[in-house]
Structure 1
Amino acid sequence: MKIIRVVLGALILFLDWVFTPKSVKRSAAFQKQIEQKVKGLTLYQYKSCPFCVKVRRELKRQSIRIPLKDPKRDEVAKTELLDGAGRLKVPCLKIVEGSNVRWMFESSDIIEYIRMRTL
């Protein structure tokens, strides 16, 4: 089973690399506004998870840069995700708004949230 996961993961990463989406071009001022709107967001993800790839591709399409953390390879990120969200599931978007912290799972929900936030 591990061999299948390794092969599929490599295939997913290869296809993601071959078919990388084009980024949206914005003026510097508008891009800065977008970056302010996504401030406080962090994506917890695994490199070869297909749902994580889906979210990262949308971020690339929209020219949105947010911190990415990999709880599989980073013990601090793993602890943050377990302590904050209560489970080790990716993709997970950490949303910090002032002193309020929310955790959002499900790739489609994350993509929709980011689209609505950056309108």
Structure 2
Amino acid sequence: MRIQIRERATGNVPVVVTDPARSWWEGYNDNILRARETAWGENEPLLSREMCELLDDVDAAFAVTGAHTPGWPNPYQDGPEPDEEAYERSTNPEKFLIVVARVRAWTKVLRWIATIPSTSRLPPATRQ
């Protein structure tokens, strides 16, 4: 799943929304470049090509490690913001298996990177 952050119409509260066409890191770099055009954010760093490749690799690995994790709709998509108490309860703890799947994707990619020379890097999705 790819995400991006936008501001809710009711204020400057960041909200995560899914965008299947773009990764959050592509959106981040695009936002920094747009900000630089308006003379704002000239000191904000872009994510490097290497970092974007790493995130692409983790995303590809997550497509495998997270293939069987359940998704769930955002219960606050079009409604009011959750209250503090909502963060203290879980009605479906199985949904947090997605966090374990994401950690496994990172672990797979970082272990793979540690075992190869940097000049022979191939995306993890091409390996078995």
TM-score range, shorter chain: under 0.3
Structure showing the higher strand proportion among its residues: 1
